[in-house]
Amino acid sequence: MNFTYHLPTKIFFGSTCIADNIVEFSFWGMRPLIVTGRSSAKTSGALADVETVLKQLGMEWSLFDRIEENPSFATVEDGGAAARAHDADMIIGIGGGSALDAAKAIAVLAVNEIPARKLFDGNFPAQPLPVIAIPLTAGTGSEVTQYSILTDTERQTKRSFASRALFPKAAFLDARYTQSLSRTITINTAIDALSHAVEGYLSRRSTAMSDHLAIDAIRHFSGMFNALGRDSLTLAEREELLYVSLLGGMVIAQTGTTMIHSLGYSLTYFRHIPHGRANGLLLAEALRFMQPAAPGKIASVLAALEIPDIDTLKKTLSSLLGPEQPWTREELHTFPEIALQAANIANTPRIPDQNDLKTILAASC
């Protein structure tokens, strides 16, 4: 056994974890910029809980609530300017993966006046501001990863940049905030979390530690198939999903994702298919392709899911996700071509070529 395991984020999990741990907010600064999407921080109740804490601590905060889904360079550059205008010394991200990833980018841009596209060079001289992350989806696990994923219109894809300085200092996971999620977003984001655990487990960079977390995540997810098929979930079920999402994030922080995410980015960029749904559409056919290279691990994934075979997994995922419009000839050509340029493709246990990706995509709708 030979591995490293690095997770510098302090995790607080459970209902009322923000109000119960006020002092944690005081360690990182006194002038936070709160980074959120347009409405979910308010409707979920998370923003009010954070503001109560900041008031009690006598902090002066400013709110930047303009993060869109799949955040753009322009938005995070505006966020960096807003942080400087407020003289912010910390960033509090509240939201789904989009707001949390934007919060990380803004933490860098606040103290490095560079165009957002330069973030991908990994060359920012000043250390980013500390980030506190409060996820509202269960989900991306971004609250415990060193990644930030932005939309690159020049390259016509989504791209990830990574730095160990981007790990949030603290993450507060309270499943009550996910109760305001629609059924569709609940399903899409839950499948993203599953995909992280499965991809991380199969990744060439997986380790004994990450495998342990991944299998636990997949087992917890298996009990959720029925719940996700219903119209509403209990708080206990939402807590399960948030736990899966947390574990999934802890896994990919060590292992990265694989070709499922690489190809999924094109589905989101060109077709506006939500991130988790994109991964879910591809998952079963990607497993079929990877099977010859990792038969034992894929058997373990299916066993942990309590699903007999890949065909049954495909049917189960399809019944949750619903149908997708068939891909055009041009999409079947372009999406694989772009996916092959993504760095995470190299983590896949069986490296696909463009034709392989085309076959996987064609069978995935």
Q: How far is the CB of 245 from ligand NAP (least distance, A)?
A: 9
In angstroms, give the least distance from the CB of 2 to Fe ion.
27
Closest separation in Å from C-beta 67 to Fe ion = 17
The yes or no reply on residue 143 touching Fe ion (CB under 5 A) is no
Q: Smaller CB distance to ligand NAP: residue 14 or 31?
A: 14
Closest distance of CB 24 from Fe ion, Å: 26
Among 29, 32, 37, 93, binds ligand NAP (CB under 6 A): 37
Binds ligand NAP by CB under 6 A, chosen from 77, 101, 211, 239:
101
In this structure, the number of other CB atoms found within 10 A of the CB of residue 174 comes to 25
Instruction: Tell which one of 192, 237, 239, 331 touches Fe ion (CB under 5 A).
Output: 192
- In the bound complex, what is the minimum distance in angstroms from residue 136's beta carbon to ligand NAP? 4
- Site membership for ligand NAP, residue 96 (CB under 6 A): yes
Residue type, 132: I
Contact between 75 and ligand NAP per CB under 6 A: no
Query: For Fe ion, which is the closer residue by CB, 47 or 171?
Result: 171
Q: Which is nearer to ligand NAP, 158 or 314 (CB)?
A: 158
Q: Three-state SS across the chain?
A: CCCCCCCCCEEEECCCCCHHHCHHHHCCCCCEEEEEECCHHHHCCHHHHHHHHHHHCCCCCEEEEEECCCCEHHHHHHHHHHHHHHCCCEEEEEECHHHHHHHHHHHHHCCCCCCHHHHHHCCCCCCCCCEEEEECCCCCCHHHCCEEEEEECCCCEEEEEECHHHCCCEEEECHHHHHHCCHHHHHHHHHHHHHHHHHHHHCCCCCHHHHHHHHHHHHHHHCCHHHHHCCCCCHHHHHHHHHHHHHHHHHHHHHCCCHHHHHHHHHHHHHCCCHHHHHHHHHHHHHHHHHHHCHHHHHHHHHHHCCCCHHHHHHHHHHHHCCCCCCCHHHHHHHHHHHCCCHHHHHCCCCCCHHHHHHHHHCCC
Please, is 316 exposed, middle or buried when counting C-beta atoms within 10 Å of its C-beta (0-12, 13-18, 19+)? Answer: middle
Residues 6+ apart with CB under 8 A from 240: 220, 223, 224, 227
Query: 96 touches which of Fe ion, ligand NAP, none (CB within 5 to 8 A by kind)?
Result: ligand NAP
Stretch that binds Fe ion, among 100-108, 191-199, 220-228, 290-298 (CB under 5 A): 191-199
x/- string (CB under 6 A) for ligand NAP, residues 133-172?
---xx-xxxx--x-xxx--------x--------------
- Near ligand NAP by CB under 6 A: residue from 32, 80, 93, 95: 95
Question: What residue number has its CB nearest to Fe ion?
Answer: 192
Among 77, 192, 211, 240, binds ligand NAP (CB under 6 A): 192
Binding window for ligand NAP (CB under 6 A); candidates: 93-101, 105-113, 218-226, 305-313:
93-101
**Smallest distance, Å, CB 150 to Fe ion?**
14
Binding site for ligand NAP (CB under 6 A): 37-40, 43-44, 69-70, 95-99, 101, 136-137, 139-142, 145, 147-149, 158, 177-178, 180-181, 185, 189, 192, 275-276
